[in-house]
A and B are shown apart, each in its own frame.
Chain A
Amino acid sequence: MFEDRDEALDRVVRHLRRPVAIDPTFDRRVMAAIETPRRRTIAPWLAIAAVVATVFIGRAWLTGAGTASAFRFELVAPQAASVSLVGDFNDWDPHRTPMTARGGRTAGTWTAVLPLAPGRYRYAFLVDGAEWRADPRAPAAQDDDFGTPSSVLTVERS
C-alpha cells in the first residue's frame, strides 16, 4: 500500500489537504448563535448583593460598605490619553466601560467601578485604544485564545 516512505507521506498530505464535508447548515447555526444574546445573570447578583464576600484582585477591590457588589479596577498609566476596561462582562467592547483618570490624566491612575455577578471573568485594559495590558497584580489568564494579555477575576458566590 505504501511503496516509499516519503512518497507515502506525500500521499497522506495530499489526502489531508482535500476539502472535508461540513454540515450545510453550519453558517446558519453560527449566525444564529451570534445573534442570540447571551444570558445575563443580573437577577442572582441582585439577590446576593448584600452578602458578597470580599474578593481581592490585584488593584481592584470592593468599594466599601453598602456597595459590596461593585468592584473597582485600577491601572496606573501616567502616559495614557485614554484607558478602557474590557472583558467577558462587557463583550470586550472598548466603548462600554471607559476608565476615569483619578485627579486628572496627569495623576496617572485610571479607575472604573463595575458590578459583577459571581463567576469567572477574563479582562484586560485597553490603553489609548491600541495597547492591551493585563492587570499586573492579578492572575494571568492561561486559557486566553486571542493572543493578547489578559487577567482573571473569580467572583465567588457567598
Chain B
Amino acid sequence: MGIEEVETSDADLVRRVRAGETAAYGGLVSRYRDRLGRYARHMIGNREDAEEALQDAFVRGYRSLARCDDPARFGAWLYGILVNRCRTTGARAARRRRLFVHDEAALNGKHASRPDAAERTEFEDAVERALARLSAEHREAFLLKHVEDLEYEQIAHLTGAGVSALKMRVKRAREQLQMLLREAEHV
C-alpha cells in the first residue's frame, strides 16, 4: 500500500492554497491528520508532544508549500516533514524527561498515573513501554515499515538512511521488541 497517491485531489487542493485560498489547506489537514497523527503518537509516545509535532509539520508544510515539487504527492512530502519534526520534538521531550523525571518507577519504565491509564490494557502498556525502550532510529524504522507499511525505498527517501541500514534497524527493532515483550510476560 505505502504512501497513498491521491493525485487529482491533493494537487487541486495544493493549487488552490497556492492561489491564495487558505481554507483549502483544511482539506489537506483533515485528510492526513489521522494517519500522520498515529505515526507521531507512536514515535514520540506522548499525546501532547505528538500533537505539537503534527501541528508543527502542517504549519511548516503550509508555509513552504512552494517547495512541494509534486503536489500530487503532497502526503509523501508532508510525511518527510513530520519524520523530521518527530526527531526534533522527540529529542527535546527526551531531554525534558531526563531533566525533570526523578521518579524511580518512571525511570525504570513504569508509568506514573495518567489520565487514560485506567482505560488501557496490560498488553497496551507493554507495547508502549517496549516501543519507548527502542532507540529513536529503531522505533522510526519499525513504525514506518510495519505500521505505516512503507517500502524500504520510501523510508530511505524520508529518513535519508540507506536501504541496507534500514533493514538492519527493522531487524534489530523486531528482535528487541520480541525480547521486551517476552520480559513483560514474566513480570
Binding site for B on A (CB under 8 A): 1-2, 5, 8-9, 11-13, 15-17, 19-23, 26-27, 29-31, 33-35, 38, 86, 91-94, 130, 132, 143, 145-148
Contacts and interface: CB of A to CB of B under 8 A. Distances in A.
Contact of A13 (B69, B146, B178): B146
A94 B66 contact: yes
Given A19-B38, A20-B37, A22-B33, A92 B51 contact: no
10 closest cross-chain pairs (CB), A and B: A145-B84, A145-B81, A20-B41, A34-B62, A16-B147, A146-B67, A22-B37, A30-B58, A92-B66, A20-B38
A1 B59 CA distance: 42
18 contacts: A1-B122, A1-B185, A2-B181, A2-B184, A9-B146, A15-B123, A15-B124, A16-B42, A16-B146, A26-B51, A27-B26, A30-B29, A31-B23, A33-B55, A34-B62, A143-B88, A146-B67, A146-B68
Interface of B: 22-23, 25-26, 29-30, 33-34, 37-38, 41-42, 47, 51, 54-55, 57-60, 62-69, 77, 80-81, 84-85, 88, 122-124, 126-127, 130-131, 143, 146-147, 157, 174, 177-178, 181-182, 184-185
A27 B30 contact: yes
A32 to B, nearest CB: 10
Q: Which of A12, A132, A143 has the most CB of B within 10 A?
A: A12
A91 B65 CA distance: 9
Nearest to B157: A147
Contact of A93 (B58, B66, B143): B66
B79 to A, nearest CB: 10
Nearest to A129: B66
A12 B177 contact: yes
B54 A26 contact: yes
